[in-house]
Amino acid sequence: MADSAKLLVSLDDSGIKTITFNQPSRKNAVDFAMTRDLRDAVLETARDESRVLILTGAGDAFCAGADLKSGVTGTDVTEYLRTYTNPTIVALRTMPKPVIAKVRGVAVGVGCNYALAADLRIASTDAKFGQIFARIGLMPDGGSTYFLPRMIGYARAFEWMATAGILDARRCYELGIVNRVVEPGDLDTAVDELAMRLASGPSLAYAGIKRALNAGDSGSLAEALEAEATGQRTCITSADFREGVAAFLEKRAARFEGK
């Protein structure tokens, strides 16, 4: 997918793709075109040869939610969510590769929920996460009613949503919403190092981990065990497994190729 002015997409030689919300004058609030282009970019990433996806924002913000000045609220919201937002959220969580949300500044509304859909969230100390829908008479969308009760429990999720609160990065770390909090000047390095580690790792195993965790989230113990059993078959018959065993026995770093 070609870059648009408000959404930037890049892929480096190590297989790390970066999608950047690029409307810093609006704190990267998303309008219709950005929401559509994000869906297309994420769906393409789920199918392509990239190994890791980083989702981030330009300037001093991650994403300030929907751009209310763009007229996005004048659409049929149900069809808008079904067509554009929901496929993006599902693809972020289910694509067979790690997704990292690199968060600085505000991540509120659907911006917060794009971050929640990632597998990992690395935040700078100045990051602010908000479920602010109720401030304008809305309920949350973008998957937070699914993600948050599983992360922090029903009561905390309800309180956050009903009070339209803002949580800082440290509090999100304490609650288990954020994986790591670093100083603003260290954010790029921390995410780049993690992405490089994942990009050089066993991508078939990562895909299996995501499938099994998603099955465990919504199914029974028996279904989770079955997902593990079938996923392990894929891993144990792979070249990556043979390379991993050889590297372990030879006391060297493994060279995984995702095969």
**What does the block give as tokens for 55?**
């989702």
Q: Where are the beta strands (DSSP E) in 27-170?
A: 52-57, 99-103, 106-108, 120-124, 128-130, 166-168
Distances (CA, A) of 154 to 12, 119, 148, 162: 40, 20, 8, 12
**Angstrom distance (rounded) from CA 92 to CA 104:** 19
Cβ–Cβ under 8 Å, residues 111 and 99: no
Kindly report the backbone phi and psi dihedral angles of residue 41, in degrees, each rounded to the nearest multiple of 5, phi listed first: -65, -40
pLDDT digits (tens, 9 = 90+) for 237-249: 788 778 777 876 7
Closest CA to 98 of 204, 25, 256: 204
SS3 98: coil
The tens-digit pLDDT sequence of the chain (259 residues) is 445 699 999 999 999 999 999 999 999 999 999 999 999 999 999 999 999 999 999 999 999 998 888 766 667 888 989 999 999 999 999 999 999 999 999 999 999 999 999 999 999 999 999 999 999 899 999 999 999 999 999 999 999 999 999 999 999 999 999 999 999 999 999 999 999 999 999 999 999 999 989 887 776 666 666 766 777 777 767 887 787 778 767 877 887 877 7
Does the pTM surpass 0.85? The reply is yes
| Residues belonging to the chain | 259
**What does the block give as tokens for 5?**
């002015």
**What does the block give as tokens for 38?**
């994000």
